[in-house]
Amino acid sequence: MFDKYILSGYRNDIQGLRAIGALIIMIFHIWVHKVSGGVDVFFVISGFLMSSIILKSFFVNGTINPFPFWGGIIKRVAPSAYVVLGTTLIASYLIISPVFIEGVVQEIIASALHIENLQLMRQSVDYLAADVLPSPVQQFWALSIQIQFYIILPLVIIPLAYISKKKKTSLPLFLGIILIIITSFIYAVISVENDQSISYFNPLSRAWEFFFGVFSFLLVSNFKKIKYRGMLGFLGISLIIGGAILIPKGAGFPSYVSLIPVIGAMLIIISGSGGNGLINNILSNKLLVFFGSISFTVYLWHWPILIFYKECFGYNTVGIVQGLVIIFISIILAYFSSQKIESHFKKIPREKVVLNFLIGITFLLPVVASALMYKHQISSTVKNSVIDFESKEIKPFSEDKIHLENKDTEIDQDTFLSINKIIPAPYTIGCNQEGTGVKAKTCSFGDVKSDKKIVLVGSSHATQWLPALDEIGKKINVEIINMTKSGCSLGTFETSDESCEEWNKRALDKIIDINPYAVITNSTKTSANKKEFIPQSYIESWEKIASNGINIIGIRDNPRFNFDVPECIYQNRNSLDINSCSINRVDALLEKDPTIEYKNIISSIDMSDMFCTNDKCLPVFSGKMIYRDSNHMSVEYTYFIRDNLKTKLNRILTDLN
């Protein structure tokens, strides 16, 4: 009765569907810049094809050993995947700037170990990594999830098939797969609501898409007579293409909206079972079938080519002609990989498990070993730079305002490597709150024995002032208590998550409990794409603190850029001038500090002249990079302007006394 699982043969339309998925992904990556659903289609196809291999093997040969299946995956995936990774590693060494190279190498290692999705999940909650350039191996997140699925699939489906065979009914298989789909889908919906950036790469949120493919195989194996085949195929392709075009940017993948491409793929698979409708015949076109046969490798090649093109030429957008060239090069490289590399291993039987695993190891080791050695070299350089910085005496800037400089700015390579690794102490000693944590952590700096206490509270834009305040506190005999949470200011917004709201409540309670002489926090909020303003929630927080007799000192927020400033400086290092990486002051800041209107509850420190001239907000001053990313001050620059901050803080403290 289980012959139905072994009768289905090779389907050209599935290859055509893979081609459509790959084309959609490339088009949207190159020109549209939003999620298309093409990867979701790939996941359904993977579930369909892999479950067919496992179930056929089980019901024909009684195979319960998963290693031949895994060996087959290795010989299929390893050659091209590791050639792409190895080539990307070499190209990254030559092309990627030192600002980002360590992160890129780390992702190459993660991709080689098929945990790139987990690496991206970690980065999505790492606030300090928010401005990191998309790496040339970021596309490997999808392959990583596929490999994780391939590891789990036989361990799930073989026991279900075994039970079904014992019971002489397919019901256990159906019910088991349906239960997995429902459970994973519910998890995806909830996790997308909580944090889509994590859920997007989470294998638990993606499992239902793969098992939709498994479910599709069960359907076509059990129900051969499909009515309205042509209509199902047309509806399926309409959902895939129409969804890619019409689903808005920022839609909640992989939640409800993912049902559109997933169901579309399933309908096409069903419509081609036992015969072809019009859409299936179109998908079986020789050109699409050929492209589908190399689509996996095309997908792997297109992304690094796109990233390296942008990095080499400094473009954020790609024109039609350039995009077509990128696609053409990707196809050529994929064809070469398929014919000259993959083809040598395709004929090796799955049953030769040891040989297939050795093939994988042979391709894996050179990539991982090279990447690890390169990473060690980078880490050693960064470590030495940090040590040099810690022993370096930074002479403070003594003037009231920065100015344009006529001399060329020369910044050495090692500074670019370490600029975003030298960060304020709270990040390195664990007293800055991260992610969804809600505890109002504190740690003391300045004169820790002083009875006079000032609490520095807020987001990373407050934390960035800690290095200077630490030095100032030691000189004026004030204890500086750091109480910060990444991405969470003192005062919440509509976009703030529940953890930020709870942290704010706890921070206010702790401030009142400490009863410091004063609180220092950000008094305004800047943005790369809108004017500086004072959020109403800031004012409400000030009022709560002031009502408890605690003085409030606000530091005006610094300008923010819509690009990574050190990266821009590096790319323009041979011709850096005032127009290269600066922005107009009028676009970044209001003409006057708006906090003055609230002088009855807050004393304001305006440091804007340390970032901007009358007209321009600068990326570099006096040979020092002002920023370590798009919006956070470098620690070196914080030390550099500490005397200016000290003068203004002392003036306020004198007035308050």
3-state secondary structure 209-239: HHHHHHHHHHHHHHCCCCCCHHHHHHHHHHH
Share of the chain above pLDDT 70, in %: 96
- The predicted-structure confidence for 72-82, as pLDDT tens digits, reads as follows 999 999 999 99
Cα(77)–Cα(360) distance, rounded to whole angstroms?
8
Q: Where are the beta strands (DSSP E) in 5-164?
A: none
Name the 3-class secondary structure at 657: coil
Residue 222 has pLDDT above 60, yes or no: yes
CA of residue 601 relative to chain centroid, distance:
40
Q: State the helix-helix crossing angle for 353-390 and 101-112, rounded to 10 degrees.
A: 160
Q: How confident is the model at residue 617 (pLDDT cuts 50, 70, 90)?
A: very high
Residue 121 has pLDDT above 90, yes or no: yes
Amino acid identity at 536: Q
Cα(379)–Cα(457) distance, rounded to whole angstroms?
32
Q: How confident is the model at residue 410 (pLDDT cuts 50, 70, 90)?
A: confident
- The predicted pLDDT at position 350 comes to 87
Question: Do residues 367 and 108 make contact, with C-beta atoms less than 8 angstroms apart?
Answer: yes
- The predicted-structure confidence for 448-470, as pLDDT tens digits, reads as follows 999 999 999 999 999 999 999 99
Closest-CA residue to 561 (of 543, 578, 584): 584
Q: Mean pLDDT across the chain, nearest whole number? A: 93
Cα(250)–Cα(35) distance, rounded to whole angstroms?
8
Burial of 626 (0-12, 13-18, 19+ CB in 10 A): buried
Amino acid identity at 365: L
Cα(164)–Cα(169) distance, rounded to whole angstroms?
5
The DSSP code sequence of 156-210 is HHHHHHHHHHHHTSSHHHHHHHHHHHHHHHHHHHHHHHHHHHHHTT-HHHHHHHH
Read off the pTM: 0.91
Q: How confident is the model at residue 136 (pLDDT cuts 50, 70, 90)?
A: very high
- The predicted-structure confidence for 568-578, as pLDDT tens digits, reads as follows 999 888 776 66
Q: Where in the chain is the domain with CATH 3.40.50.1110?
A: 419-656
Question: Do residues 184 and 156 make contact, with C-beta atoms less than 8 angstroms apart?
Answer: no
- The predicted-structure confidence for 280-296, as pLDDT tens digits, reads as follows 999 999 999 999 999 99
Q: Where are the beta strands (DSSP E) in 335-484?
A: 443-446, 453-458, 479-484
Task: Give mean pLDDT, residues 356-361.
Answer: 96
- The predicted pLDDT at position 533 comes to 96
User: In this structure, what DSSP letter does residue 517 have?
Assistant: S
- Length of the chain equals 657
- The predicted pLDDT at position 342 comes to 87
Fold of 419-656: Rossmann fold (3.40.50)
Cα(143)–Cα(141) distance, rounded to whole angstroms?
6
- The predicted-structure confidence for 489-518, as pLDDT tens digits, reads as follows 999 887 788 899 999 999 999 999 999 999
What tokens appear for 214 in the block? 């498994």
Q: How confident is the model at residue 127 (pLDDT cuts 50, 70, 90)?
A: very low
